[in-house]
Structure 1
Amino acid sequence: MKYTEILEVVRQYIEQFYDAKEDSTLTFHNFAHTHDVVTHATKMAKHYGLDERETFVVTTASWFHDTGYYTGEANGHEQRGAEMAGGFLKNLGVKEELIQEVQKCIMATVMPQKPENLLQQIMCDADLYHFGTEQFSERNMLMQEEVERKTGCKIDNNNWRKATICLLESHFFKTGYGRELLEYGKKKNLERLKRKETRGMMRKSHIPNSCLGE
């Protein structure tokens, strides 16, 4: 099987898919995010010396992992993305065993993430790679904007920050690569959020009770 040739077909298909399914409400889960995930997964595949078959699995899973956002609600998008990948790869003559590996990598990204092998661990860390980067604040704002657009409801910034703090505190990178490269950055992002939380609480504590309706 010529993995590189099939990967090129997959890449072209996903690019066309996102072009055709453009959705202005998806400010985070879009082609830019997918491309980032593919880039990070490919980088980790090289770091771990994966062979062509293994690299094909994680890269293909990365291309398809968020396509389900464009075919239904956020809930269950992983399953829909896995099904789309399965149908597409089957039409290309990819063996069922290999298709299932791709699908399991996609399904490993369901929160809370529970990867069962290195390939799934790589997929999980590639998906949440931004947790440990300087781009986290920007990506987090895009995620908040996406939820607001999808629900039609404005989210209080303090509530969103609290939820994000809980998310980062409960998360851990699954690969040694992720822990070594990204854990420190995630810790800094978490500390930054907590400082903002503390400042907000201090400001509120200086507001007269009459202003708070108490």
Structure 2
Amino acid sequence: MIVKNVADYCTDLLTNSTCKELPFHNLEHTKEVVQNVKFLCEVMDVNQEDTELLIIAAWFHDTGFSVTYNGHEDESKLIASKFLKKQKIDNDFIDKVCDCINATKMPQNPTNLLAEVLCDADIFHISNSHFFYRKLLLRKEWEMFCDYQVSDLEWHKLNLDFIKNHHFRTVFGKEILSKGKQENIFKVEQILEYY
């Protein structure tokens, strides 16, 4: 029941706030992260309670964009805490949700397995073909909301640096997702050869 309440609340928030104007960090991205969490929990045999906790953290992890762009994770934690307290969820559970959200700050810094799962779910797209579409959306978002404009060459270099320096945290991420990441690194390097 709590997962459904969280999903409804976050869907409403992400649809009826500035988040709906974000090309990347919007409801679509959040739903993708929720699906990635479910997938990772299944393949990693995560128990039901921890899976629910992670699904809740995934739903809330970018809600802070409704308040601020920079430092949105802190706002996401406040939004999650406030909502979960109203639902009479115990503080220990809420703290764990907030730890997971906190770990998604760039550069990611998970301190336990649950946070590692959310971090890998959040950045899952760099391991598959979605990467090239998602990075176009992120570029558009940075232009609109951060006044960040760079040439195509600089953008490709920035993305190459990002995926080269990013490391998946879970065993599944290291063993499986890293292979897709390596393929994307190769593709971006090929793109850069044209410059």
TM-score range normalised by the length of the shorter chain:
over 0.9
Identity %: 31
Q: Does 1:9 align with 2:14?
A: no
Give unmatched runs, 5+ long, in structure 2.
Answer: none
Note if contact 1:131-1:189 (Cα within 8 Å) is conserved in structure 2. Answer: yes
2:61–2:77 Cα contact (<8 Å) kept? yes
Name 1:58's counterpart in structure 2: 54
Aligned to 2:133: 138
Structure 1 stretches lacking a partner, 5+ long: 201-214
- From 67, 89, 92, the counterpart of 2:87: 92
CA RMSD of aligned residues (A): 1.3
TM alignment of 1:126-165, pairs within 5 A: 126-165=121-160
Aligned residues: 195
Task: Quote how far apart the aligned CAs of 1:155 are.
Answer: 2.3
Q: Which residue of 2 aligns with 1:184?
A: 179
CA pair 57-23 structure 1, distance change in 2 beyond 3 A: closer
Which amino acid counterpart does residue 191 of structure 1 have in structure 2? F
Please state whether the residue corresponding to 2:183 is helix, strand or coil.
Answer: helix
Counterparts of 1:153 and 1:96, CA distance in 2: 39
Q: Does the 8 Å contact 2:127/2:177 carry over to 1?
A: yes
Q: Are the counterparts in 2 of residues 62 and 123 from structure 1 also a CA contact under 8 Å? A: yes
Q: Are the aligned partners of 1:78 and 1:110 in contact in 2 as well (CA < 8 Å)?
A: yes
The Cα shift of 1:24 comes to 5.5
C-alpha contact 2:14 2:20 (8 A) present in aligned 1? no
Distance 1:146 1:130 in 2: 17
Cα distance, 1:111 vs. partner?
Answer: 1.3
Q: Which amino acid aligns with 1:105?
A: C
Q: Distance in 2 between matches of 1:23 and 1:121?
A: 25
CA distance in 1 between partners of 2:39 and 2:147 (Å) = 37
Distance 1:156 1:94 in 2: 48
8 Å Cα contact 1:25/1:149 also seen in 2: no
C-alpha deviation, 1:153, in angstroms = 4.9
Distance 2:78 2:161 in 1: 31
TM-aligned CA distance change 1:154 to 1:112, over 3 Å: closer
What secondary structure does 2:172 align onto? helix
CA distance in 2, matches of 1:155, 1:23: 23
- 1:17-166 matched pairs, under 5 angstroms: 17-23=13-19, 25-73=21-69, 75-166=70-161
Deviation at 1:77, TM superposition (A): 0.6
Contact 1:25 1:150 in 2 (8 A): no
Bigger CA radius of gyration: 1
TM-score, reference length from structure 1: 0.87
Moved more, 15-24 or 91-100: 15-24
